[in-house]
Chains A and B, each alone.
Chain A
Amino acid sequence: MILNPAKRELLAAELLEAEGLSPEGRSLTKDAMRRLCRNKAAVVSIVVLVLLILVAFLGPYFIPHNYEDPDWAAFRAPPSWEDGHYFGTDPNGRDLLARVLYGTRVSLAVAFVATLVSVVIGVLYGAISGYFGGRLDSIMMRFVDIMYALPYILFVILLMVIFGRNVYLLFAAIGALEWLTMARIVRGQTLSLKHREFVEAARASGQKPLKIITKHIIPNLVGPVVIFAALTVPEIIATESFLSYLGFGVQEPLTSLGTLIAEGTDAMESMPWLLAFPAVFLVSLLLSLLFIGDGLRDAFDPKDR
């Protein structure tokens, strides 16, 4: 018996179903997230990072001391369970646990603010420069070159003079310096994207240039941008620590991980806990961010592994 065409189509449809093709599509981002979830190091890092964030932002409400008031009964106290100074106190009698938590909070906030600023400026600047090309591109990129050539620390000191009193503004400004590399990466990606056929197809469909940038170019930059941003966060935390160490960063009594480590190094021999606890926090924060960045890179570019 020969099957009729209708039965043959039914057969083909059954096969399609067997391939597990549900009507809901799997987007590339969902695919990437699925791959990320299979990466053990990245998953552990995400858990660590989430815990650190929760502890830093909720922790202070559950501990007996706050970060700025000295405990007159305990100066330079080593860690102990009895008096509630679980991480000990500093030379001014302030609770180290509270200060570490607060410092983590400041470091994280500063890093995310700076990264956000650098991503927004860098992506827009790079995409516009790369997409329009020609003379506009030359001018915009020469400006980036000039900015690169100026010494970083000099800039930070200048910004200090201007924004000295406000930590978040200072780091927004640092973000405004960090965007240079982001802009270059994005421009390079845009240059190759704009010759891809789907961008040409959008032009042929009569789409406006700015719409092409926002609808086609920028969504396709998600991979490299997310990866670079994930690697920028630890870089800025390290920069902040470095600046605070030099005395340019966060002002007393506010603190950050970098400041705490700077203070801790001074008293490393007499009060090792002052160095050890903030260092453990900083290292776990940086490592988890780096692993997440790596995991994202593998997830978005599975071919490059």
Chain B
Amino acid sequence: MLDQNTPGQTLLKVENLTTQFEIEAKSFFRKPTMLTAVNDVSFELKEGRTLGIVGESGCGKSTLGRSILQLIRAQKGRVVWQGKNLLDLTPEQIRLARRDMQIIFQDPIASLDPRMTVGDIIAEPLTVFEPKLSRAQRLERVQEIMAAVGLVPEMINRYPHEFSGGQAQRIGIARAVITRPKLIVCDEPVSALDVSIQGQVITLLRKLRKEFGLTLIFISHDLSVVRLISDDVLVLYLGRIVEAGDCATVFSAPAHPYTQALFSAAPIPDPKLARQRSRIRLQGDPPSPMNPPPGCPFQPRCWKSTDICRTQMPPTELVRQGQSAACYHMDRPPEA
């Protein structure tokens, strides 16, 4: 449903992906309690494009990213990657597939092993996938990639705790790109960084995307950051896609009430505009994924909800070219 019409080869296809966690173990007397973190998610990603995934905490965006990489095993659906469904592969086969799909984490320092030097951290994927490289060749590759992400090669023997957040994130990025993967999942890569550093990391990601021909999945809670880097965007609420489409369309005319509320709540660094604009004040908190509301997940907080929203999950429909949403009362373009 997402960007079926954009040209280019499909790199990744996700169909009806559902990921559940057991939150209370099965016992003799009762069935296990399940939490559905990702619910029936489908999309297609073309080579070279960047997909932004936006949502609030607990909406399942990180779980979705990890389910695609099979760092968390999903229960239902398909993740089609290089012609194979990843859900059918054995752990060993998935391990080998990781050469082409990598991840960048939110907390840059925590994602680096504190007892390893920067050189060893960056070289780790190489030691796994290209074990035949000589020590000198490996060093050369590491230094080459360090230069590409803006790290001084002299830092190679330092340890992670000696770095600032921004530099640590560069190390994480270097590790992710050293095997020249095709797909990188970026899980909130700039939310832990200062504003002045955020821009540096985004600029670096944009540069690497061009140089290495990367396809990115960019997960963030921040609409503004997603807008800076993505071609397409998915809005997730309680594990479901509520709106999807190409960035330009979704950002200029959000159709789903939740997307509209998200835009309206995003702070704007302009005092006059901030005072003028009328905010959509959402009531209450997102519901717990442990007992989702019946019907549309957004219905308890939605100012447009009617009876049908409380009983039936709205189907996903095309809003206009390059934009789809799942809502009975979405803003549709005026009939042509």
Q: From the candidates A23, A201, A207, A220, name the one contacting B128 in the complex (CB within 8 A).
A: A207
| Stretch in B4-12, B77-85, B104-112, B230-238 with 4+ CB within 8 Å of A | B104-112
In the complex, are the beta carbons of B159 and A202 less than 8 A apart?
A: no
Which of chain A's residues has its CB closest to B125's CB?
A205
Which of chain A's residues has its CB closest to B96's CB?
A206
| Stretch in B150-158, B214-222, B248-256 with 4+ CB within 8 Å of A | B150-158
In the complex, are the beta carbons of B103 and A204 less than 8 A apart?
A: yes
In the complex, are the beta carbons of A216 and B113 less than 8 A apart?
A: yes
Interface size band for B: 20 to 34
Q: A47 an interface residue at 8 Å Cβ cutoff?
A: no
Q: Which residues of A contact B (CB under 8 A)?
A: 21, 23-29, 196-198, 200-208, 215-216, 219-220, 222
Which of chain A's residues has its CB closest to B156's CB?
A23
Q: Which residues of B contact A (CB under 8 A)?
A: 69, 71, 95-96, 98-99, 102-103, 105-107, 110-118, 124-125, 128-129, 154-155, 157-159, 161-162, 172, 175
Report the minimum CB–CB distance from B85 to chain A (whole Å). Answer: 19
Q: Using Cβ atoms and an 8 Å threshold, which residues of chain B touch A208? A: 95, 128
A207 and B125 CA atoms in complex are apart in Å by: 7
Q: Using Cβ atoms and an 8 Å threshold, which residues of chain A touch B115? A: 27-29, 219-220, 222
Q: Using Cβ atoms and an 8 Å threshold, which residues of chain B touch A28? A: 114-115, 159, 161
Q: Indicate the member of A27, A198, A215, A216 with the most B CB atoms within 10 Å.
A: A198
In the complex, are the beta carbons of B162 and A26 less than 8 A apart?
A: yes
Q: Using Cβ atoms and an 8 Å threshold, which residues of chain A touch B128? A: 205-208
A200 and B71 CA atoms in complex are apart in Å by: 8
| 26 CB < 8 A contacts A-B | A23-B154, A23-B157, A23-B158, A25-B117, A25-B118, A25-B157, A26-B158, A27-B117, A27-B159, A197-B110, A198-B114, A201-B112, A202-B113, A204-B98, A204-B103, A205-B98, A205-B102, A205-B128, A206-B125, A206-B128, A206-B129, A215-B113, A215-B116, A219-B113, A219-B115, A220-B115
A219 and B115 CA atoms in complex are apart in Å by: 7
Report the minimum CB–CB distance from B167 to chain A (whole Å). Answer: 11
Which of chain A's residues has its CB closest to B161's CB?
A28
A276 and B247 CA atoms in complex are apart in Å by: 84
Q: Using Cβ atoms and an 8 Å threshold, which residues of chain B touch A21? A: 158, 162
In the complex, are the beta carbons of B98 and A24 less than 8 A apart?
A: no
In the complex, are the beta carbons of A25 and B124 less than 8 A apart?
A: no
In the complex, are the beta carbons of B111 and A197 less than 8 A apart?
A: yes
A2 and B105 CA atoms in complex are apart in Å by: 39
In the complex, are the beta carbons of B95 and A201 less than 8 A apart?
A: no
